[in-house]
Structure 1
Amino acid sequence: MQFMGHLFLRYSPPSLPTTPRKHFHSLRRSISAATATMGETAGDSSLLEHVAGAWYSVPELCLRDHHFNVPLDYSLSQSPKISVFAREAVAVGKEDQSLPYLLFLQGGPGFESPRPTEASGWLSKACEEHRVILMDQRGTGLSTPLTTSSMLQVKSARELVDYLKYFRADNIVNDAEFIRKRLVSDAGPWKVLGQSFGGFCGVTYLSFAPQGLKEVYLTGGIPPIGDGCTAEAVYKACIGPLILQNEKYYKRYPQDIEIIRDVVNHLAESEGGGVPLPSGGLLTPRGLQLLGLTGLGASTGFERLHYLFERVWDPVIVPGAKKQISYYFLNAFEKWLSFDTNPLYALMHESIYCQGAASRWAASRVRAEHESKLDAVKAAKEGRPVLFTGEMVFPWMFDEIHALRPFKEAANLLAEKKDWPPLYNKITLNNNKVPVAAAVYYEDMFVNFNLAMETAAQIAGIRLWVTNEYMHSGLRDGAGHVLDHLMRLLNGKKPLF
């Protein structure tokens, strides 16, 4: 066990809106049970700022767990505390070596860091030269997780919103700085690798705490940094790439056009406009389209989607039995979406684009502008291919997806919330001195190429690797090649021009 004294950060991020006094005390009571879990899982760590576990191993890696007790609101001198979990990973035999630190920021929002089972892919490459810190971003994994059950401890939708507003990139960066100052020798700077939303966090880091950064690598994660809420612009820009990925899918599996049309017709003609899901939700035609979130835009996604639809129908083993969608498919559908295990994604997704403005269900508004193409029932009736949707969250999901139903009111309040604090500082980015390298995927369905390039032009000194060799999942798929390429861009092994 490693004890670190009670210290406060010298770094002062942009002030967050303070929780209204009438809600603050009830909010503290609401989260007391959640914050107590740190002490239950890590001894007396609820009284400490940092507790480090013993080393353990998986093939070719040594791992160590860290628990940090951090403020919920860094702008308050006396704030409720939450826990943040981080796993340290090094190559076997290098536990005692002096190695530079590399913080990995996971995509999302609302998803925990990878759980390594062996040294493979980018992690193997990173651990050859670094101590890799796999941080569960606040609210995920073992970091006081916001699950469908834990959030029910908060008594009202308004109090839940007052809690959730602290779970964006600004406070993820605050947590990273808290951890860096307690792990890195002499509180020196470290490197950061940000994938997708983790890259968005990396640009926030560059904006408000560049003194903590030695190098930054971004993979499919350059955000739009415009004022207000850029969510609508993002969804409008992504419609074209989304349609392209649908077309590519049906070119690869043309037999699925008829299969998916039949499923949509079956759902539309079912009582209530859909089929009950195992959890108690309802699978509707528009719900079916959500499969594009994981089935399109990433390697092997087409194959997984195709094989899923291979088993969409139950066999007719009794003559005259009614045609029905199989339990296998319905169960797989819910597991694909992960909203039951990671509800924070649905609640917070649009807010990651907001600075001082409300999202107002941007994806729903953009979809309505393109409903002639995206209406699944109409497409099926007219004999056209049914298009899947991409990385979009819609208000009706909080009716049709059982795990999200308790949070419908909170979701609507979040969609109308205007006073989101800033996530980026253009002046700081324009004068950036931190070495930055970014992989920009030309056919990225999730992070639009043109918007990414607009932001890249605002980050002084950034080195770009633009490629169509990989899709959004390139870091995972590239067996270490993507990270190696970015590292070479910054260590002099790749020419400047």
Structure 2
Amino acid sequence: MRSLYFTVQLFLRYPPPSLPTPTTSPKRTLSFRSLRRSISAVTATTTATMDQNLIKKTSSPAEHIAGPWYSVPELRLRDHHFTVPLDYSLSQSPKISVFAREAVSVGKEDQALPYLLYLQGGPGFESPRPTESSGWLSKACEEHRVILLDQRGTGLSTPLTTSSMLQFKSPQELVDYLKYFRADNIVNDAEFIRKHLVPDAAPWKLLGQSFGGFCGVTYLSFAPQGLKQVFLTGGIPPIKDGCTAETVYRACIDPIVLQNEKYYKRYPQDIQIIRDVVIHLAESEGGGVPLPSGGVLTPRGLQLLGLTGLGASTGFERLHYLFERVWDPVIVPGSKKQISYYFLNSFERWLSFDTNPLYALLHESIYCQGAASQWAAHRVRLEHESKLDAVKAAKENRPVLLTGEMVFPWMFDEIHALRPFKEAANLLAEKKDWPPLYNKTALNNNKVPVAAAVYYEDMFVNFNVAIETSKEIRGIRLWVTNEYMHSGLRDGATHVLDHLMGLLNGKKPLF
């Protein structure tokens, strides 16, 4: 049966701010002589930049150091390092480094292109590393200088890794540091970069994916003067006071159940396979089997595979092919049945907590303003344990439900990379004095053109919650579709970005 896809465009509350006039840039073809002159100019500029950087490094710490241009197929890239305050409220704050990569299409390095800031999903994930011009980036780089920001604590921005965080002497000291790594300070970093990078500190455009979209709404709340246009993809957050994490997780239960049902309908043979794995884990010594890193795989840990397996395009396929190789073959008669090393190793790589621990540590706090999360996902799960108890489901011959985007306290016992941060995670869950992330008055009076893709079956950012918030953002234009999942920006090539830009540049009708 063919899937029925639909698209809905919504225009909320007020007429949009004035639409910009579309502009196009002429394509350039470089002759060999022009190319040689360009290479000479780049070499001279690089040498001058290196000399200038050397001078800066030998005196006081430079606030901005730009590297030379380099290439990947069809793109020119340049690295930028910024020295910024850890705490912007202090005149004498400790400093951290923030990294951003500039990307343009080949031959457009010297053109006066508008700037587009890209904010990655997360929290705790670095910007993509371009290997070629493809997908949405190819479209964006044709018309903009794209700034791929590694949000503080990720990538090359003073990264907070499982090893670097061990430098803190106590869990409380770590928490006192981590409190500066939410959307409010990511926006502060973005404004710092804009003022140092964009000519005349002009406003720039913003593209925010998932958590990057949450940061975009924070930007609209507190620094709208820095924004020219905003594009949100699967990234409209709840903005109520207090901590909305519990509301978010409660709203996500039904979509999680729906995605499980769709998965098992596509791969009915996996119902029994996953039941058998759950029973095997439950009956193993200690209630689980050792993982290669030193952690342990338990039935509830197995359910974490739903995080990306159920919520992203091709996730169903990846999940199915993973379970194809869950068991080792019995080569020697009489040998015990066991889960394969291939599966156990793949399970750990699937979750990324060893490389991006900030996701687990800060995940619930991104929803908090003046209130504690108190392990909201864990509390919501307990309310639905009759559905979500894996062992009970397997023994009752029911399909085992995999879970979605939730972080639980027991993960800091079972996942080896997270164990050192268990006490810090508990302190973060009880922390109440989180500063505000959104300003409803500013959003109600918004003058920045905003377009947002809202995915009807998004398992990560609930559709109803997104619609409720969108009513508070003056002039926002929504594109509602079930053609894509949460990963639509990545999966839709240029289509998603094209559609959103069309909503703001006059190419799409208002109604």
Same-fold status (TM-score > 0.5): yes
Partner of 2:122: 108
Tell whether 2:323 aligns with 1:309: yes
Q: Aligned match of 1:385 in 399, 404, 407?
A: 399
Tell whether 2:153 aligns with 1:139: yes
Contact 1:46 1:69 (C-alpha < 8 Å) held by counterparts: no
Displacement of 1:128 in angstroms is 0.7
Displacement of 1:45 in angstroms is 9.6
User: For 1:248, what is the secondary structure of its paired residue?
Assistant: helix
User: For 2:76, what is the secondary structure of its paired residue?
Assistant: strand
Tell whether 2:321 aligns with 1:322: no
Query: Aligned partners of 2:60, 2:159: CA distance in 1, in Å?
Result: 15
Query: Aligned partners of 1:105, 1:481: CA distance in 2, in Å?
Result: 19
Partner of 1:367: 381
Partner of 2:464: 450
Give the residue type in structure 2 aligned to 1:419. D
Query: Aligned partners of 1:141, 1:481: CA distance in 2, in Å?
Result: 28
Partner of 1:27: none
Tell whether 2:452 aligns with 1:438: yes
Partner of 1:417: 431
Displacement of 1:145 in angstroms is 0.3
Query: Aligned partners of 1:226, 1:242: CA distance in 2, in Å?
Result: 23
Partner of 1:258: 272
Query: Aligned partners of 1:371, 1:46: CA distance in 2, in Å?
Result: 57
Displacement of 1:330 in angstroms is 0.3
Tell whether 2:178 aligns with 1:164: yes
Tell whether 2:216 aligns with 1:202: yes
Query: Aligned partners of 1:74, 1:134: CA distance in 2, in Å?
Result: 22
Query: Aligned partners of 1:298, 1:245: CA distance in 2, in Å?
Result: 10
Partner of 1:96: 110
Tell whether 2:191 aligns with 1:177: yes
Task: Report the RMSD for the aligned CA atoms in angstroms.
Answer: 1.2
Displacement of 1:436 in angstroms is 0.1
Query: Aligned partners of 2:468, 2:355: CA distance in 1, in Å?
Result: 34
Q: Aligned match of 1:73 in 69, 72, 87?
A: 87
Q: Deviations over 1:206-240 (max 9, x none)?
A: 00000000000000000000000000000000000
Displacement of 1:366 in angstroms is 0.1
Q: Deviations over 1:104-125 (max 9, x none)?
A: 0000000000000000000000
Give the residue type in structure 2 aligned to 1:185. P
Contact 1:45 1:51 (C-alpha < 8 Å) held by counterparts: no
Query: Aligned partners of 1:459, 1:218: CA distance in 2, in Å?
Result: 12
User: Using a 3 Å threshold, how does the CA distance of structure 1 residues 444 and 46 change in structure 2: closer, same or farther?
Assistant: farther
Give the residue type in structure 2 aligned to 1:377. V
Give the residue type in structure 1 aligned to 2:82. F
Query: Aligned partners of 1:400, 1:481: CA distance in 2, in Å?
Result: 40
Displacement of 1:44 in angstroms is 5.8
Partner of 1:465: 479
Tell whether 2:507 aligns with 1:493: yes
Q: Aligned match of 1:187 in 172, 176, 201?
A: 201
User: For 2:485, what is the secondary structure of its paired residue?
Assistant: coil
Query: Aligned partners of 2:325, 2:65: CA distance in 1, in Å?
Result: 48
Displacement of 1:78 in angstroms is 0.3
User: For 2:68, what is the secondary structure of its paired residue?
Assistant: coil
Query: Aligned partners of 2:57, 2:265: CA distance in 1, in Å?
Result: 56
Give the residue type in structure 2 aligned to 1:238. C
Q: Deviations over 1:366-425 (max 9, x none)?
A: 000000000000000000000000000000000000000000000000000000000000
Partner of 1:405: 419
Give the residue type in structure 2 aligned to 1:333. F
Partner of 1:30: none
Give the residue type in structure 2 aligned to 1:81. K
User: Using a 3 Å threshold, how does the CA distance of structure 1 residues 357 and 485 change in structure 2: closer, same or farther?
Assistant: same
User: Using a 3 Å threshold, how does the CA distance of structure 1 residues 43 and 61 change in structure 2: closer, same or farther?
Assistant: farther
Q: Deviations over 1:345-365 (max 9, x none)?
A: 000000000000000000000
Query: Aligned partners of 1:315, 1:146: CA distance in 2, in Å?
Result: 40
Partner of 1:36: none
Tell whether 2:90 aligns with 1:53: no
Which residues of structure 1 form unaligned runs of 5+? 1-38
Query: Aligned partners of 1:481, 1:179: CA distance in 2, in Å?
Result: 29
Query: Aligned partners of 2:401, 2:95: CA distance in 1, in Å?
Result: 44
User: For 1:257, what is the secondary structure of its paired residue?
Assistant: helix
Displacement of 1:297 in angstroms is 1.2
User: For 1:439, what is the secondary structure of its paired residue?
Assistant: strand
Contact 1:161 1:410 (C-alpha < 8 Å) held by counterparts: yes
Give the residue type in structure 2 aligned to 1:131. R
Tell whether 2:276 aligns with 1:273: no
Give the residue type in structure 2 aligned to 1:415. A
Query: Aligned partners of 1:188, 1:45: CA distance in 2, in Å?
Result: 29
How many residues in Structure 1 have an aligned counterpart in Structure 2? Answer: 458
User: Using a 3 Å threshold, how does the CA distance of structure 1 residues 46 and 328 change in structure 2: closer, same or farther?
Assistant: farther
Query: Aligned partners of 1:46, 1:116: CA distance in 2, in Å?
Result: 32
Q: TM-score, normalised by structure 1?
A: 0.91
Tell whether 2:144 aligns with 1:123: no
Query: Aligned partners of 1:43, 1:139: CA distance in 2, in Å?
Result: 22
Partner of 1:34: none
Displacement of 1:101 in angstroms is 0.2
User: For 1:155, what is the secondary structure of its paired residue?
Assistant: coil
Partner of 1:300: 314
State which structure, 1 or 2, has the greater radius of gyration over its C-alpha atoms: 2
Tell whether 2:490 aligns with 1:476: yes
Partner of 2:259: 245
Query: Aligned partners of 1:271, 1:398: CA distance in 2, in Å?
Result: 20
User: Using a 3 Å threshold, how does the CA distance of structure 1 residues 115 and 44 change in structure 2: closer, same or farther?
Assistant: farther
Tell whether 2:243 aligns with 1:225: no
Partner of 1:211: 225
Q: TM-score, normalised by structure 2?
A: 0.89
Displacement of 1:46 in angstroms is 7.6
Q: Aligned match of 1:335 in 349, 358, 373?
A: 349
